[in-house]
């Protein structure tokens, strides 16, 4: 069977990679089309030329199934493309991903069939048996519409996550900047090409060693999944041998320089982490990056991971306020975070810290607490400041609606232009003042004392544009981006410590 998978605004989509590998292993002719790359705060709708390239490829290939990986901010684009595909071809349109998982009935407005949950087995059965047969079987997680009525139920849970690999060889096409190429490096514009020469992430390999998250954060999709589908409270960890085999296969094919594990919390299973780091150091040995939470870190873990190749650790803080952290349903653990930040510096591990801004419930005292925490952390570090998005049905979204916070139906689409902190965004003076201070807290040459003086300056508080201008200065903004990437690259490329 001929299948085309579609990834929107993500050239390194783990979901489509896993599906590509699983369907290819079943003997199907699989192609993945990547339409537009994720480029923070500058994402635009596909141009007419890009849509024409996309549709021309669909018409020429004449696929039996076109499968979309759909995230909520991009549903209108997915629906537009699906409608045109159904008008011009006889292909079955399949939706998978977070949006159809949370809103299967709405997703069926344009899709012929949707998957709620893990898509590998559902898609394999669809390709193997055909649409009519799988409808009769009623696989868990398979939803469809018949005579206007929605049919289907349940959530597709893949209990044996070792069955599937994220390494996928095969046909891939990338569409962006009004061009289509088979190599994503050729599609980049001049700015992207420049940063790719110093940015290690462009020559790395992304994967996951498990699925799920032990936390229940109110702003996150995992909380919603757990509320709707009991049984997703635990992390489904892959066996170490399977992860190592995937990485070795990927290295043999593309000789990547680094590895980025996208697990929500890589160290959730402490015993597994120690087992993995021993095998990884011997069998792979490349510098790697992980995501985690301070609750699942300690000095022994950091030391072992550093010895195995850990160079960058991404830690979600989200807020330094105890009140807001309770709203987010996250443990804050300030003293432990401060200790871990010092240990990262000692072990030469570069930390990235996530925080959330633009929360309408956050007061000025909450912002002061966040600034105090950030300015107490050991440098160097990089701060990732994300603007809060109220996605449909998330626990925090429901709470905001109960409290009368006005939310636009297009709220998820703010990620196109306001996903990450924007220096030039118009915002209230108090917010601009503290957001600028948050950002400045990571700048190495600004002393703690100077930061405290700035935070107490009445003139800057009234006219925060001067702080923003400082943030936009030649070194702090433009040059710091390059210096930061060079520093991260030097950390990445340091050889793994020998046993």
Residues 499 and 307: beta-carbon distance below 8 Å: yes
Q: How many other C-beta atoms can be found within 10 angstroms of the C-beta atom of residue 133? A: 11
Instruction: Assign 111 a pLDDT band (cuts: 50, 70, 90).
Output: very high
Q: Does 120 reside within a domain? A: yes
Domain's final residue, options 113, 145, 163: 163
Whether residue 146 is found in the same domain as residue 234: no
Residue 492 has pLDDT above 60, yes or no: no
Percent of the chain with pLDDT over 70: 91
Mean pLDDT of all residues in 136-157:
86
Mean pLDDT of all residues in 75-90:
95
Q: Does 191 reside within a domain? A: no
Q: Does 274 reside within a domain? A: yes
Instruction: Assign 445 a pLDDT band (cuts: 50, 70, 90).
Output: confident
Name 357's bridge partners: 387
Whether residue 118 is found in the same domain as residue 245: no
For the chain, the residue count is 499
Whether residue 408 is found in the same domain as residue 301: yes
Whether residue 114 is found in the same domain as residue 209: no
Tokens of 330: 């996250």
Percent of the chain with pLDDT over 90: 66
Whether residue 304 is found in the same domain as residue 430: yes
Whether residue 116 is found in the same domain as residue 13: yes
φ/ψ (deg, to 5) at 131:
-65, -45
Q: Does 176 reside within a domain? A: no
Residue 484 has pLDDT above 80, yes or no: no
The model scores a pTM over 0.95? no
φ/ψ (deg, to 5) at 454:
-60, -40
pLDDT of residue 199: 53
Residue 282 has pLDDT above 70, yes or no: yes
pLDDT of residue 499: 32
Residue 374 has pLDDT above 90, yes or no: yes
Q: Which of 11-20, 133-142, 343-352, 385-394 has the lowest mean pLDDT?
A: 133-142
Instruction: Assign 226 a pLDDT band (cuts: 50, 70, 90).
Output: confident
Instruction: Assign 288 a pLDDT band (cuts: 50, 70, 90).
Output: very high
pLDDT of residue 86: 95
Q: Does 184 reside within a domain? A: no
Domain count, the chain: 2
pLDDT of residue 225: 84
The angle at the Cα of 82, spanning 80 to 88, to the nearest 5 degrees, equals 105
Residue 498 has pLDDT above 50, yes or no: no
What range defines the domain where residue 328 resides? 198-493
Mean pLDDT of all residues in 99-121:
92
pLDDT of residue 246: 95
Whether residue 226 is found in the same domain as residue 345: yes
Whether residue 219 is found in the same domain as residue 146: no
Q: Does 172 reside within a domain? A: no
Q: What is the CA radius of gyration of the chain?
A: 23
Whether residue 136 is found in the same domain as residue 248: no
Whether residue 216 is found in the same domain as residue 128: no
Q: Does 185 reside within a domain? A: no
Q: Does 187 reside within a domain? A: no
Q: What is the CATH number of the domain that holds 435?
A: 3.80.30.20
Whether residue 413 is found in the same domain as residue 265: yes
Per-residue model confidence as pLDDT tens digits over 328-356: 999 999 999 999 999 999 999 999 999 99
């Amino acid at each position: 069977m001929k299948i085309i998978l579609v990834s929107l605004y993500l050239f390194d989509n783990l979901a489509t990679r896993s599906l590509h590998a699983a369907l290819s292993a079943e003997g199907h002719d699989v192609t993945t089309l990547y339409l537009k790359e994720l480029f923070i705060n500058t994402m635009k709708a596909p141009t007419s030329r890009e849509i024409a390239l996309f549709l021309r490829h669909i018409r020429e290939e004449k696929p039996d199934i076109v499968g979309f990986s759909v995230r909520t901010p991009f549903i209108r684009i997915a629906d537009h493309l699906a409608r045109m595909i159904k008008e011009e071809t006889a292909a079955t349109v399949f939706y998978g991903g977070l949006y159809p998982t949370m809103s299967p009935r709405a997703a069926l407005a344009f899709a012929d069939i949707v998957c709620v949950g893990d898509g590998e087995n559902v898609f394999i059965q669809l390709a193997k048996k055909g649409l009519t047969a799988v409808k009769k079987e009623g696989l868990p997680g398979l939803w469809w519409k018949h005579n206007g009525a929605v049919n289907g139920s349940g959530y597709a849970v893949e209990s044996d996550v070792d069955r599937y690999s994220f390494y996928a060889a095969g046909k891939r096409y990338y569409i962006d900047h009004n061009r289509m190429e088979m190599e994503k490096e050729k599609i980049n514009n001049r700015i992207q090409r420049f940063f790719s020469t110093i940015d290690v992430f462009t020559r790395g390999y992304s994967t996951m060693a498990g699925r799920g998250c032990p936390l229940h954060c109110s702003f996150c999709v995992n909380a919603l999944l757990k509320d709707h589908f009991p049984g997703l409270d635990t992390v489904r960890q892959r066996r170490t041998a399977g992860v190592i085999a995937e990485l070795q296969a990927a290295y043999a094919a593309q000789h990547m320089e680094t590895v980025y594990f996208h697990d929500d919390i890589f160290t959730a299973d402490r015993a597994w982490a120690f087992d993995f780091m021993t095998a990884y150091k011997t069998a792979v040995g490349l510098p790697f990056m992980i995501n985690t939470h301070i609750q699942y870190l300690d000095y022994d873990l950091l030391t072992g991971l550093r010895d195995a190749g850990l160079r960058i650790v991404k830690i979600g803080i989200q807020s330094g306020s105890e009140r807001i952290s309770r709203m987010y349903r996250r443990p804050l653990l300030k003293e432990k975070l401060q200790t871990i930040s010092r240990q990262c510096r000692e072990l030469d591990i570069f930390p990235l810290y996530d925080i959330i801004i633009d929360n309408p419930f956050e007061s000025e005292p909450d912002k002061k607490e966040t600034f105090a925490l950030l300015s107490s952390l050991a440098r160097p570090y990089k701060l990732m400041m994300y603007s809060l998005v109220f996605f449909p049905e998330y626990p925090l979204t429901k709470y905001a609606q109960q409290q009368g916070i006005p939310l636009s139906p297009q709220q998820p689409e703010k990620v196109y232009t306001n996903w990450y902190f924007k220096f030039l965004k118009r915002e209230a003076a108090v917010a601009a003042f503290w957001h600028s201070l948050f950002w400045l807290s990571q700048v190495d040459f600004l002393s703690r004392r100077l930061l405290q003086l700035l935070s107490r300056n009445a003139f800057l508080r009234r006219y925060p544009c001067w702080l923003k201008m400082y943030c936009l200065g030649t070194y702090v903004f433009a040059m710091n981006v390059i210096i930061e990437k060079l520093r991260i690259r030097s950390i990445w490329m340091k050889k793994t410590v020998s046993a």
